[in-house]
Amino acid sequence: MSNLTLYTTTAVILLDGEGNRILAKYYGSKNAYPTPKEQKVFEKGLFDKTRRANGEIILYDNHVVLYRSNIDVFFYVVGSVEENELLLSTILNAFYDAVSSLLRHQVEKRTIADNLDLVVLALDETIDDGIALETDSNVIVSRVTRPRTDTTDIPITEQTFIQAYHTARERVTERLLRGV
């Protein structure tokens, strides 16, 4: 009998076409690779095993690994041997699709590096401490790109003088345009 747990993911890794780390997050207090050196060895071995493979799932170093590559980037989602592959696949696809949408379908090393903040936010919206939070890429994208609160939403008594002036000017302009 296996233990049921919310902790599904032990790592999410993005490597470039040469096996160098772009982004990696390892989860869990019982992480099998606690030091950067051990992580690098794991990532190198994982890349060597998958760079020419055509599959999307492997068993590597006692972990289930689902992966996907695009141009010069490899996306990996790593789980324990007992983990449900379909759940890991759903997590991988949601994260990949969210990143693809955020980067306007230009999923390549340079674009990811230029927009690393969005990619990390998308990852954080997908997985938190190894727990899958969201598997709908559209929801992930909307959370990452949520517009900032506008100053018109702040009560006028809590705005600075300049903010209040701009808010009043916008409202007057709106009323004038409606009247025309």
Question: pLDDT per residue over 151-161, tens digit each?
Answer: 456 665 665 66
Answer yes or no: are the C-beta atoms of 24 and 43 closer than 8 Å. Answer: yes
Range 85-102 average pLDDT: 95
- Is the full-model pTM beyond 0.95? no
Start-to-end CA distance of the chain, whole Å, equals 72
Confidence of residue 29 (pLDDT cuts 50, 70, 90): confident
Measuring CA to CA, which residue among 49, 5, 44, 60 is closest to residue 27? 5
